[in-house]
Chain A
């Protein structure tokens, strides 16, 4: 995919909203277009986490393993950001990610961005602000899942 096209896609994504053009270019330089077939693993639990993904199309299931079964923690779809383990030591994926249907995404080199952020803390702050928003949304969603919101009785008896 041409750099102009990547720049446009990243520039229009809410994750990069309000980001300085020079910083956006850094992200573009770290970005590549990827595609996963249905059923294909994007990353596996315990592997080194050095990328994150902007899902452009398709659906991804975050998974973990219990004896004799795979448990899906959450699914992510179009427009959502996949992965933050690359930001937090020890930089290993806490869960696996599998495309449940044909999925197209932009992969961003998290290792490279970590290095850039160490050198330029303003960039690091912008990155952490954005990542924190995603983490907050996921935390709230996880809390609601824990609340078992459908379990407190029927709408009518």
Chain B
């Protein structure tokens, strides 16, 4: 029996089985159902509302492998009261989980096309399930490029997986950081500088973009310059999500609610709102 969403407002109990420290402030939590369920099915790009008893609830993207639903994986940056408690919680702690919620990355639509994944900072976490899916079905896609930017080499997520992905002959992985010292052998510069030389056929490419909004804005400009159609470009948006089912209106973004119409949007459908400061 998989954990299911019988009542979207009622959390299911999940127990922390493993905590991996990714960076000085970011942790990956592996959770197992604490109610006897077999696992947790989700689509790449979806998120959960994770509840820390007595503290509060936050939306967190699912960062695990959709083909391995036995373990629910979240990568969490410790930035607020709830996420600090989440990251401080050790093995065995029980959390409440509501979800999965929201739209997903267009991994089916991208079949037959080239795929470019552009992410910055912790934006790699919501894209990792899509990368797992594409790699598990590699023969269905054309060229695949992962372009990842972070502040420094110390801020990179998934440091063991990145070299493994890069070692595959059918996946272009380019990593860049904003600042580095002499020991760094990789790229230095913002993630947008990786787009012009990346290997993909722009007109036949599906782009998936995730990161802080300012990073996405400049990335979208660069993808447009390269010739990727805006209807083939997808972004994951963030707003203050509370109910996650479109009732409360906290996450309204133009005429949409991020929690139920997003978080993954086709760029041409939200383009006018994306560049509106007041939204």
Q: Chain B: interface secondary structure?
A: mixed
The answer, yes or no, to whether B136 is at the interface (CB within 8 Å) is: no
Do A156 and B79 touch (CB < 8 A)? no
B154 at the interface (CB under 8 A from A): no
Are the CB atoms of B189 and A141 closer together than 8 Å? yes
Q: Which of A63, A71, A77 contacts B179 (CB 8 A)?
A: A71
Is A154's CB under 8 angstroms from B120's CB? Answer: no
B236 touches which of A72, A101, A147, A155 (Cβ 8 Å)? A155
Residues of A within 8 A of B189 (CB): 74-75, 141, 145
Are the CB atoms of A145 and B190 closer together than 8 Å?
Answer: yes
Which residues of chain B in 49-100 are interfacial with respect to chain A, using CB atoms and an 8 Å cutoff?
Answer: 58-61, 76-77, 79-80, 82-83
Is residue A149 contacting chain B, with contact meaning CB distance below 8 A? yes
A contacts with B, residue count (CB < 8 A): 29
Residues of B with C-beta under 8 A to A78: 197
**By the criterion CB–CB under 8 Å, are B181 and A150 in contact?**
no
Contacts of A12 in B (CB 8 A): none
* A149 and B185 form a contact (CB under 8 A): no
Specify the main secondary structure of chain A where it touches its partner: loop
Kindly state the separation between the CA atoms of A72 and B177 in the bound complex, as whole angstroms. Answer: 10
Among A63, A145, A154, the residue within 8 A (CB) of B79 is A154
A156-B59 contact, Cβ under 8 Å, with A73-B188, A147-B214, A149-B190: yes
Q: CA separation between A120 and B126, bound complex, in Å?
A: 56
Whether the pair A69, B181 counts as a contact (CB closer than 8 A) is yes
A154 to B77 CA separation, bound complex (whole angstroms): 7
- Hey, which chain A residues are within 8 Å of B263, CB to CB? 156
Please state if B188 and A153 are interface contacts (CB–CB under 8 Å): no
**With A141-B190, A144-B190: A151-B212 Cβ-Cβ less than 8 Å:** yes
Q: With A79-B197, A141-B190, A150-B212 given, is the CB distance from A156 to B126 under 8 Å?
A: yes
Asked if A108 is at the interface of the complex by the 8 Å CB criterion, the answer is no
Residues of B within 8 A of A (CB): 47, 58-61, 76-77, 79-80, 82-83, 120-123, 125-126, 149-151, 155, 176, 178-182, 184-193, 197, 210-215, 218, 236, 238, 263
Q: Top 3 closest A-B pairs, CB basis? A: A70-B182, A150-B121, A149-B215
